[in-house]
Amino acid sequence: MSTTATVVTVVAAVMSGFSGGSIFLRAKFVVEPLAEYGVPRSWWNRLGAAKAAGAAGLLVGLFVPVIGLMAAIGLILYFTGAVIAVVRARSYGHVPFPLLYMAPVVGALALGFPA
């Protein structure tokens, strides 16, 4: 794995972990939009856990590429679902946010985890 792939993977893991942690900490900038989109409060911890697990999987993937591959795919699916939730809620101005978190994950997948 190249240095670039490693850096992009770590950035993706940090961003995903931050996003997951923000849900657990009930950060206002995260939970207010979730409520606005109609995401049930009972899902919030599971969503945070999914992002945290994906972040951990990306880091483990630095040593076990198949784990990183699966984590990247899972996070891409997660953030795709987030885009769909935002669009369904007609909060079009918020679409860039899940895409911002998805971008380094896509980069990590493209650069570092062979299929």
As to burial, measured by CB atoms within 10 angstroms (0-12 exposed, 13-18 middle, 19+ buried), residue 73 is middle
Structure tokens that stand for 48 in this block: 């945070």
Distance set, CA 88 to CA 63, 64, 69, 94 (Å): 38, 37, 29, 11
pLDDT along the chain (115 residues), means of 10: 88 94 90 87 93 96 92 95 90 87 93 66
Spell out the alpha helix ranges (H) of the chain.
3-24, 28-37, 44-60, 65-88, 96-112
Q: What is the pTM of this model?
A: 0.89
